[in-house]
Structure 1
Amino acid sequence: MTTPAQRTLAVLNAELFLCALTTESPESLDVPRILMQAGKLLAHFPRQGDLALTANALPSVWGEPLELGPAVAESSE
């Protein structure tokens, strides 16, 4: 079970991870390491239900997405 602190840390670490990826050159990317780190982040990352609950409680912070991004739409097919 994911705790609120683990969920918050996952979001913060995801931001750091994505920012770090944007500074890497394509040639230097270590795909196996990236996949491993992404899996670790997803272990405690908020799910759609978590976001819906917080959107109801904090509508000025979170909202219902107009549509899911292409990566999400492709993986759910």
Structure 2
Amino acid sequence: MKAQILLLAAAIPLTAADFHLDCASGDDTANGSSPATAWKTTARASRHTFGPGDRLLLNRGITSSEERRVGEEGRSRR
């Protein structure tokens, strides 16, 4: 039984990803996939299509006067 559960868990694709935003030292030409390649603006983050489970991580202590609405692209299809 345990082997079947492990096999099933291994068959489920893990596609969720973390993306990073750093308004102080980010770069909008970067891919946003790590703190070292963080995006600079929320405008750049809003152009990305996030999938189910994806997260946008904001660098601590950074402030921004930009306003963005988060879309619903990350919802799973039912």
TM-score (norm 1): 0.24
**In proportion to residue count, which structure has more strand?**
2
**In proportion to residue count, which structure has more helix?**
1
Q: Which has the larger Rg?
A: 2
TM-score (norm 2): 0.23
